[in-house]
Amino acid sequence: MLDWTDKHCRYFYRLMSKHTVLYTEMVTTGAILHGKGDYLSYNDEEHPLVLQLGGSDVKAMTECAKIAEQYGYDEVNINVGCPSDRVQNGRFGACLMAEPSLVADCINEMQNAASIPVTVKSRIGIDDQDSYEFLHTFIEEVAKADCKHFIIHARKAWLTGLSPKQNRDVPPLDYERVYKIKQDFSQLDISINGGIKTFTETKAHLKHVDGVMIGREIYSNPYMLTDADNDIYNTNTVKQTRAEVIDLMVPYINETVKDGGRAWHVLRHMLGLCNGLAGARKFRQHLSECASKEGANGQILLDAFNKVTIN
C-alpha cells in the first residue's frame, strides 16, 4: 500500500505469519528504471514476496520483470486497480481495465523474459464500464496471455470525480461478482479483496474463491496475522506473543538506525500492535512522541510496551 507499507513493515508482518504472501506497494517502471533510490531492496525474511508493478509500456514492464527476477522476487503483480490522476496520466492502474490486450501484451513479453509468474490486481469495473460482461471480457483476454492468478478488488473505480481514498470506500462492494468470475473461470486462481476484516470472513470467502487479500485491516490491527498460519494455512504453529514479536523487532530497529535509518521508519508500522489491550493508547502515544527523536532506537519500543497491561 503506497505510502503505508515498506520493507520494514513486511519484516514485522513476517514475524507473525510465515505463510501469508506479502506484496510490495506499487512501484512504477519509471522509478525502477530511472529513479535514483533503490526501490526494490527488501529483507530476505520477507519471502514469499510479490513485487507490484505500475506501468504499461511493454518494453519497460518486461525489463522490470527481468530485474524483479534478478532481485529474487517470487512473483510480479501488475496494478490494474489504482485510480489516481497521476497513474491515469501514465496510462496505467485501473484505466488499463479498458485495455485488456495491452495488459495481455505486457504479460506475454514479461513471461517470455522472466520465469517468475506475472499476475494482475484489478477492480470489477471502471466508471460506467461496470457490467459483469466487461469484467468477464477483461479476465478472458488477459488470461489468454497465460495469466493464472487475478486478485480482484470487489468494487469498481471512478476514474474522475472521486479521490483514490474515496475510491476505496464509496463504490459499493460486490463480492458475488468475483465469485461468479471464479465459477466461469474455474481453471484460474481468483483472489478477492476489499473490506475484509477477519479470518472468519476470510474463510467464508474461501468457500467461493481461491485466495483473500487484506489491506487496511492488517495495517491497523497487525497482530491478527499471528492467527493466519493456523486459521488459514492449517498449520499447527505456536503463536508469537506480542512480547516475542517486540523482542525480535528491537534488534531490527537498532540495525536500521545503525544503517542510517530512523526508528520511526520501523515503528510507524507498529502503532496498532497492542490494539485491544489496556494501555494501547499510551503505547501508540509513546511511539508517536518518541520514535522520531534524534537517537531513538529499539528501547523506545520496550518503553512503550511497558505501558501496556496484558492479562
Ligand X SMILES: Cc1cc2nc3c(=O)[nH]c(=O)nc-3n(C[C@H](O)[C@H](O)[C@H](O)COP(=O)(O)O)c2cc1C
Residue 171 interacting with ligand X (CB under 6 A): no
Phi, psi dihedrals of residue 283, rounded to the nearest 5°:
-60, -50
Residue 214 interacting with ligand X (CB under 6 A): yes
What is the nearest approach in angstroms of ligand X to the Cβ of residue 287?
Answer: 19
Residue 195 interacting with ligand X (CB under 6 A): yes
Among 122, 193, 202, 256, binds ligand X (CB under 6 A): 193
Give residue 121's Cα distance to chain centre: 10
Q: Which stretch binds ligand X (CB under 6 A): 75-83, 107-115, 252-260, 266-274?
A: 75-83
CB closer to ligand X, 118 vs 257: 118
Selected catalytic residue, list 9, 64, 82, 274? 82
Distances (CA, A) of 68 to 29, 34, 145, 199: 11, 15, 19, 31
What is the nearest approach in angstroms of ligand X to the Cβ of residue 308?
Answer: 26
DSSP state of 96: G
What is the nearest approach in angstroms of ligand X to the Cβ of residue 278?
Answer: 27
Residue 194 interacting with ligand X (CB under 6 A): yes
Proportion of the chain in helix, strand, coil states, percent, rounded to 5 = 50, 15, 40
Place of cell 471512478: 158
SS3 annotation, 28-89: EHHHHHHCCCCCCCCCHHHCCEEEEEECCCHHHHHHHHHHHHHHCCCEEEEEECCCCHHHHH
Among 121, 149, 242, 286, binds ligand X (CB under 6 A): 121
What is the nearest approach in angstroms of ligand X to the Cβ of residue 228?
Answer: 14
Residue 83 interacting with ligand X (CB under 6 A): no
Measured CA angle at 190 (ends 203, 234), to 5 deg? 35
Residue 296's SS3 state is coil
48 burial (CB, 10 Å; 0-12 / 13-18 / 19+) is: middle
Place of cell 497492542: 274
Residue 215 interacting with ligand X (CB under 6 A): yes
Residue 222 interacting with ligand X (CB under 6 A): no
* Cβ-proximal residue to ligand X, closest one: 215
Residue 149 interacting with ligand X (CB under 6 A): no
Residue 4 interacting with ligand X (CB under 6 A): yes
CB closer to ligand X, 79 vs 296: 79
Q: Say whether 82 is catalytic.
A: yes
**Which residues are catalytically annotated?**
82
Binding site for ligand X (CB under 6 A): 1-4, 25-26, 52, 79, 81-82, 121, 153, 168, 193-196, 214-217
